[in-house]
Each structure stands twice: as C-alpha cells, then as structure tokens.
Amino acid sequence: MSGALVKTSDESSVTWLQATPPGAFCALFVLAHPDDEAFCLPLITAELRGGRTVHVVYLTDGGPRAAIREAESLRVLGRIGVSPERVRFAGREQGWPDGGLFRHVDAAKAWLARELTAMGPCARIYVTAYEGGHHDHDCSYGIVCALLRDGLLAETTCLQFPLYTGRGLSGALFRCMSPIPENGAHLVYPLGAREALSAWSTTTAYPSQWKTWIALGPASAWAFLARRSIVLQHVDPARVTQAPHQGVPYYERRFKIPLQTVLEAVKPRS
C-alpha cells in the first residue's frame, strides 16, 4: 500500500512541493546506472498509480556488462508496469561510460533537454542525490540543475533521492538511502510492510552486479524494512557550487575521482 508524501521537516521550510501543473502527465526518473532504480521503485509505482506516464533514462552505459544490466533493469521496471519504450539507455546510445559522466555533462544536458521537449510537460523529475557517493550520481544531479538554471523546468517539481554517501565516515564505509542535511528539508515517502519487503527484495534482481549488491542489499535493509521509507529532498541548483559535504567524498576515497573534477563538471556555465 503506497503512502502519500508526508512532510516531516519544519513545514514552513517545505515550500517546494509544487502542485501538479495542468496537463503535466509525465514523471521522469533521471538515473546514472542500470540498477539505480532499486532505490526508487516505490516512487515509480506511485507515479504510475497516479496516472502519470513514467519515463526512465540512464545517463551512463553500464560498463562492460551493459547488455545484461539493461536486461535486468528492464525486467525490474517491466514487473511494475513501466513500458520498455519509455526507458532510454542514453549512456550506451551516446557513448557516456559508467564512471565517466563528468566528461559528458554538457552533452547529456543537451540530450535531456531535447528529450524533455519531446516528452511534454513533466509533473515531477526524480534524480539521484547530490551526496558525494558516486560521481555519476552527483553529475546526474548537476545535469538536472543545469536544466533548472536554463528555466526548462519552471513548473516541474524536481526531487532527489539518496542512494549512498560516505559523509562523516572514512574509507569504504557508507550509509545507504540516508539524506544528508546539506541538501535541506526533506519529505518522507512511507512504505507499507509488503511494499517495503517487495522493494528490498528487488536488490537480488541484479545478478550481474552481485559484488555491489552484496553490500548495498544489507545496507538498504534498514531503510526499507526498519525505517520503511524513501526520503526525498528538493533539487537546488545552488548546491552544485559547493562540495556535497565536508570531508572527502566516497567517490574520491573509493574510485579516486577527485572532488574538484566533479565540481568542475557540474558548476554553472557562464
């Protein structure tokens, strides 16, 4: 049973959940990698139940196992009712590699702007959070920020959902689905018990990524099964002029991608 969005932060600070503009019948999920949808499947289901046409785009190519990863994501999305023709693997189509989105931010932004025009008015865009976890996630967020700065999403509510972050931790330690305070006020999307279990069970639906999910599966159990919610925060274009948080981002510790490289990729163009 899906819950409605519930305000849990200071209500006066949550002014950004806009009413759905008339005629906006789409919801768009901007993801970096095939399997990122595992962190937001109940939101996709909620949009479908709300009568929206759900589009999902992946901005990187999924790496050497791209075809297998795409098939896994299409299977997961298909099970909840997303039509395969509304899923675009832009990263593979355009040659934007897994781990290398920071080199293609401008091209990806231009591609997404064209897609949005073809799609029609979007009620909501959901994007991977700016949290210093994976650099492709932060760059995806930066791309949505660039569209906002260009005024292309004036009537669209843009929301970020957390995947993983190493804020306040060291080495390979991370937190899963945990919003960082630097991203501001938050909303909670509560999950019913069966819905939460179903969402968490999906973490086993990516056998090609077992090395990743052997860590993320247990790490996401608390959010899905104990907290039973997905937390959302506003997309604020000003955020990409700053580091996601103090300290060394997880992507720098784990993947050796410097913070400055990502900041340079997502910073506003003059």
The binding site for Zn ion (CB under 5 A) comprises 32-33, 36
Minimum gap (Å) between residue 134 Cβ and Zn ion? 5
CB of 183 to Zn ion, least distance (A): 17
Rounded to the nearest whole angstrom, what is the least distance from the CB of residue 185 to Zn ion in the complex?
Answer: 24
Query: Which of 90, 65, 177 shows the shortest CA–CA distance to 131?
Result: 177
Rounded CA-CA distance 105/134 in Å is: 15
Minimum distance, C-beta of residue 12 to Zn ion, in the bound complex (Å): 33
> Which residue lies nearer to Zn ion by CB, 34 or 190?
34
Q: 37 or 195: whose CB is closer to Zn ion? A: 37
SS3 content of the chain, % helix, strand, coil (to 5): 50, 15, 35
Answer whether 142's CB lies under 8 Å from 243's CB.
no
| Minimum distance of Zn ion from residue 193's CB (angstroms) | 27
123 vs 209, beta carbon nearer Zn ion: 209
Of 32 and 139, CB closest to Zn ion: 32
Report DSSP letters for 16-72, one per residue: --PPPPTT--EEEEEESSTTGGGGTHHHHHHHHHTTPEEEEEE-S--GGGHHHHHHH
Nearer to Zn ion, 36 or 138 (CB): 36
Which is nearest to 57 in space by CA: 78, 79, 29?
29
Helix or strand holding residue 111 (H, E)? helix 105-119
Identify which of residues 52 and 137 has a Cβ nearer to Zn ion in the complex. Answer: 137
- Rounded to whole angstroms, how far apart are CA atoms 40 and 50? 16
DSSP conformational letter for 132: S
Residue nearest to Zn ion (CB): 33
Closest CA to 223 of 215, 231, 235: 231
Nearest residue (CB) to Zn ion, 57 versus 185: 57
CB atoms within 10 A of CB 110: 13
Shortest Å, Cβ 169 to Zn ion = 18
Shortest distance in whole angstroms from residue 36 CB to Zn ion: 4
Strand-pair partners of 89: 58
